[in-house]
Amino acid sequence: MKNTVTLTLTLTIIAAISAVSVSYVNQITAEPIRQQQIQREQSALAAVLPAGDSTYTDTLRRPADTLPFWVSYEQGIIQGYALKATTAKGYSSTIDYLIGLDAAGNIHGLSILSQGETPGLGARITEIASDITLWGRIFKGHTVDTGAEPWFCRQFSGLQPEQAISINKTIGEWPDLDSAGKVALQRSNEITAVSGATITTRTVKKSIETDIADALGAIERKIDDK
């Protein structure tokens, strides 16, 4: 009996000390973590939302999902929109993204917020194209551009989500095209896929085509009402 009491007491004391220290550290770090989260959202937003002097934010409630959105104004005139949406299941995960549209409804920017696709294949939608080699870095002093945007997201700029976006599989990946090729793709509302990751590419494209067009109309009605 005494043995049981000793065992229980020891374990309880250890657990209590653990709980106190964890909650203390939690209290100290809660604010910096919140700041990180806000900063991350702000920088993602700044990358996709057209610039303006004021931003209005709200959420769009639809039967299937809830979409946070932002509207950017310059002197009271709408400059553009941004929406946070989630795709249907891709190859192995749903993909959260932030998409920015200009006042005409064309895509201004795309930012993948989270995804769990296959590394080396679908996960390359967040890959930053770089032809800096190890030797170039060591011997020639080439530096990596750490602020660059993933090429998969960049190629969506200027496309119209309200029309069908098609995937061009014959000309290779976007970073390997010359500027004439990129302009041609944009004019025909096309994107290139990540090679070997058709499902992931298609999932993102489909979500933008179906969700965004509807959402934009609903957002415009919502802000007209207010």
Q: Which stretch binds other proteins (CB under 8 A): 47-55, 77-85, 124-132, 202-210?
A: 124-132
Q: Which residues pair with 158 in a beta bridge?
A: none
Q: According to the binding rule CB under 8 A, does residue 188 interact with other proteins?
A: no
* Residue window 67-106: x/- pattern of binding to other proteins, with contact defined by CB under 8 A: ----------------------------------------
Which is nearest to 59 in space by CA: 47, 44, 69, 48?
A: 69
Q: According to the binding rule CB under 8 A, does residue 141 interact with other proteins?
A: no
Q: What is the CB-side half-sphere exposure of residue 130 using CA atoms within 13 A?
A: 18
Distance between start and end Cα atoms, the chain: 70
Neighbour count for residue 82 (Cβ, 10 Å): 25
Q: Which of 47, 113, 121, 199 binds other proteins (CB under 8 A)?
A: 121
Q: Which stretch binds other proteins (CB under 8 A): 49-57, 62-70, 131-139, 212-220?
A: 131-139
Q: Which stretch binds other proteins (CB under 8 A): 21-29, 151-159, 165-173, 177-185?
A: 21-29
Rounded Cα distance, 196 and 117, in Å: 12
Please give the angle made by the CA atoms of 34, 36 and 39, to the nearest 5 degrees. Answer: 110
CA-based Rg of the chain, rounded to a whole angstrom? 23
Q: Which of 44, 91, 131, 188 binds other proteins (CB under 8 A)?
A: 131
- Which parts of this chain interact with other proteins (CB under 8 A)? 3, 6-7, 10-11, 14-15, 18, 21-22, 25-26, 28-29, 32-33, 36, 40, 118-121, 130-137, 144
